[in-house]
Amino acid sequence: MSTNKPKHIAIYGKGGIGKSTTTSNISAALAEAGHRVIQIGCDPKSDSTTILRGGEDLPTVLDSLRDSGRPTIADVSAIGFGGVLCIEAGGPVPGVGCAGRGINAAVDLLHELKLFEEFKPDYVLYDVLGDVVCGGFAVPIRNGIAESAFVVTSSDFMAIFAANNLFKAISKYAPSGGARLGGVIANSIQTPYASALIDDFASRTGTNVVGYVPRSLTVAQSELYGQTVIEAAPTSEQADVYRQLARHIAGDHPVSIPKPLNAPALKQWAKQWGDRVFGGAAERRLVEVV
């Protein structure tokens, strides 16, 4: 147990891009290295911590808030792999109410319940819906919660688009004490150009890539067993990739205020990459076919 002030880190990423898998593996790697870790899922889908808990059900903070009024920490948490304390903020029924306000209410409640004083974590990881659709989803990077944020992205344009939106939110809140950007985690790397594309996006926006996670069958297989790679395949190369990421995040990593691209610049940038990857000739053929 550490007596140091816990380090709060937010990890954002577009839905389906692998941010929960990445966050859970980082939590597992930190726990394996002997740290006390809390992982808080801030996504109404409530599936952030599943692979830390063998796929078991966990009542969300908002479900408990709705049903029992004022839950205790024990009601809304479960101990997962390596002692990681798993919490899901949860959300309303899809299509009803305000999930953004829900995240806000859930984080407030965890503070009121003195979660961090009681559990005394070394690291708190917030796994947040990356589209930053409204102010509620920016709560973890606003003043006084997380010190730094990382964004998980693939080389798909929509994932980059979501990352750029997060950069906008960070550059808005950072000057008034909000989180700064720790860097970009490049995920699902499988084509030769993917790393170069993400590197280029990072350099254009004044940040850097802190890790490259290759697309891996080991991850898919581990998830089918409801486990992280750290647990299911501890000796795999993929596990070492996550351990390396965890060491970077745990260390005194540099942070910055990103410079997001505006909409036309982002489109122009994407088009240039389209030309580079597929070639101008391919594009012309596509136009002729259409």
Interface residues with other proteins (CB under 8 A) are 62, 65-66, 92-93, 95-99, 101-102, 105
Backbone angles phi, psi at 3, to 5 degrees: -100, 0
Smallest separation, CB 102 to other proteins (Å): 4
* CB nearer to other proteins: pick between 138 and 213: 138
Amino acid code (one letter) for 151: V
Smallest separation, CB 108 to other proteins (Å): 9
* CB nearer to other proteins: pick between 95 and 264: 95
Task: Pick the closest to residue 171 from 258, 261, 265 (CA basis).
Answer: 258
Smallest separation, CB 62 to other proteins (Å): 6
Active-site residue list: 14, 19, 45, 131
Smallest separation, CB 98 to other proteins (Å): 4
* CB nearer to other proteins: pick between 98 and 286: 98
Cα(98)–Cα(112) distance, integer angstroms: 21
* CB nearer to other proteins: pick between 102 and 183: 102
* CB nearer to other proteins: pick between 33 and 105: 105
Q: How many CB atoms lie within 10 A of CB 285?
A: 12
What residues have CB less than 8 Å from 161, skipping those under 6 apart? 14, 266
